[in-house]
Structure 1
Amino acid sequence: MARARQERAEITRQAILHGAAIAFDRAGFDGTSLSDVVRHAGVTKGALYFHFQSKEALARTLMDEQFQVSQDVPAIEDPGLQTAIDLTHQMAFGLRTNVRIRAGIRLVVEFGSFTRPDPAPYNTWIETSITCLAPAQERGDLLPSLNVKDVSTFLVGAFTGIQVTSHVRTGRDDLHARVVDLWNLVLPGIVPADRISRFDPAGSPECRAELALPA
């Protein structure tokens, strides 16, 4: 009985998060009410408050879901530059196909504004990038003169701008192409010339197969 109750509670919690993602994705944090969340989730307000004390608690949970994209990085035996490239395509795919990731990223952008600044999600992605690029530099895949943290900070800012621009211009239909542009432009500035051919701006074969991206 206790296990069945736990399973039902988790189903309700996931329904609330999905309903909140739909609402936040459409109207943003300020434009979404808890009544909107309840309507999209198909639950009662009592059920919502049982799982989440406030709208901000809901938003914070969705903001954290974006890091599911990078959750396997610590288990990679030899992360490197191609790992970072693949992560940008995996995030692009998530933004195009997963409303919860899309809502979480919209909330990150909103919470990173002047009125509600929160650098934490950006800092987390910067640290993830460093995890990939520091070993790459040790192997000689990044120019030794570069500061890996500076490169990572630039990449996170560049991807953020690219995805927002892609959203506004094409509904993110061209996001993977714009990510390829990013890497085509960046690689010559950070990788020794004789090693550039080792890296694919369109993603590794495994990444492209996983996301069903064209070769």
Structure 2
Amino acid sequence: MARQERAEQTRKAILEAAASRFDAVGFLGASLSDILAEAGVTKGALYFHFKSKEDLADALVQEQFSVLDPSSALQSPGLQTVIDWSRDMAAGLQSDVRVRASIRLVIEQGSFVTPASSAYKQWIDMAHGCLLAAQSTGDLRKELNAHDLAQLLVASFTGIQLSSEVLTGRADLPERVAFMWSTLLPAIVPPRRLHKFVPTGGSAA
């Protein structure tokens, strides 16, 4: 058990160091030697857990989904779940270097061997499922194409977080995401249902 715990601690240290370097300088700018130095581990320890820098990047790409509560989509799929996901992602981008590195790697997907477009697809698919549930209960205008809307929401969030990063270092990201929802909700939700949704995330009183 002690050996297993040490191995897990080493893996975590490598991921933290890789996330720090990828977040700071991107995939191409980060070298394995810098990651090893920051993690304080040997090359052999790194290769025990990861085959290459690309393998490290692939592992980190999945970190963006760590902000999700998987049960939320199963227990209460709907529009508020998508709003809450965007709020949690905004918070993750502010506080978690692994999430920031993951998002940067996805945006720079042409920089390494395995493209990360599947991450976009996963977000779109999850949002699509929740939007279909919202449409079935009358919380989403029936004339809307739920898949097209899911793509719009993912693209909008991506653009908002990028502009927030450039302009304020993401300091205003939660407010920008809430404004996105305040603007979109009247266009996608029937007027009689608008009171149900909280643009900043959470449940309506």
CA contact (8 A) 2:73 2:130 kept: no
Q: Percent identity?
A: 53
**Counterpart secondary structure, 2:29:** coil
Q: Evaluate the alpha carbon distance shift between residue 117 and residue 6 of structure 1 in structure 2; reply closer, same or farther with a 3 A threshold.
A: closer
Query: After superposition, where does 1:163-202 map in structure 2 within 5 Å?
Result: 163-202=161-200
What is the one-letter code of the residue matched to 2:21?
Answer: A
Q: 1:199 to 1:174 in 2, by over 3 A?
A: same
Counterpart position of 2:52: 54
Are 1:13 and 2:11 counterparts?
yes
Aligned equivalents of 1:6, 1:75: Cα separation in 2:
33
Letter of the 2:154 partner, please give it. Answer: V
Q: Specify the code of the residue in structure 2 equivalent to 1:204.
A: G
Q: Distance in 2 between matches of 1:157 and 1:116?
A: 21
Provide the aligned length of Structure 1 versus Structure 2. Answer: 203
Q: 2:88 aligns with which of 75, 87, 90?
A: 90
The amino acid that maps onto 1:152 is A
Q: Which residue of 1 aligns with 2:202?
A: 204
Deviations 1:142-161 (A, max 9, x none): 00111110000000000000
Aligned-partner Cα distance in 2 for 1:139–1:38: 52
Which has the higher mean CA deviation after the structures are superposed, 145-154 or 72-81?
72-81
Structure 2 CA distance for aligned equivalents of residues 119 and 24 of structure 1: 18
Length-normalised TM-score, structure 1: 0.90
Contact kept? 1:163, 1:175, Cα under 8 Å: yes
Would the alpha carbon gap of residues 93 and 112 (structure 1) be closer, same or farther in structure 2, given more than 3 Å must change?
A: farther
In structure 2, C-alpha distance between the alignment counterparts of 1:5 and 1:116, rounded to whole Å: 32
Supply the distance in 1 between the matched residues of 2:201 and 2:30 (Cα, whole angstroms).
36
Out of 70, 75, 78, which is 2:76 matched to? 78
Structure having the larger proportion of residues in helix? 2
SS at match of 1:203: coil
Q: 106, 130, 155: which is aligned to 1:157? A: 155
Kindly state the Cα deviation for residue 45 of structure 1 after the two structures are TM-superposed: 1.2
Letter in 1 for 2:34: D
Secondary structure of the corresponding residue to residue 55 of structure 2: helix
Q: Identify unmatched segments of 5+ residues in structure 1.
A: 207-215
> What is the CA–CA distance in structure 2 between the aligned matches of 1:146 and 1:117, rounded to whole Å?
30
Confirm or deny that 1:27 pairs with 2:25: yes
**Equivalence map 1:113-128=2 (5 Å):** 117-128=115-126
**Preserved contact between residue 22 and residue 103 of structure 1 (Cα < 8 Å):** yes
Conserved? CA contact 1:126–1:153, under 8 Å = yes
- Paired residues of 1:126 and 1:152 also in contact (CA < 8 A): yes
CA contact (8 A) 1:143 1:190 kept: yes
Question: What is the TM-score when the length of structure 2 is the normalising length?
Answer: 0.94
4+ runs deviating over 4 angstroms: none
Q: Structure 2 stretches of 5 or more lacking a match?
A: none
Please, which of 123, 128, 131 is the counterpart of residue 130 of structure 1?
128
Shift of 1:194: 1.3
Shift of residue 131, structure 1, vs aligned partner: 2.2
- The answer (yes or no) to whether the contact 1:88–1:179 under 8 Å persists in 2 is yes
The answer as to whether partners of 1:88 and 1:159 remain within 8 angstroms in 2 is yes
Residue 66 (structure 2) aligns with: 68
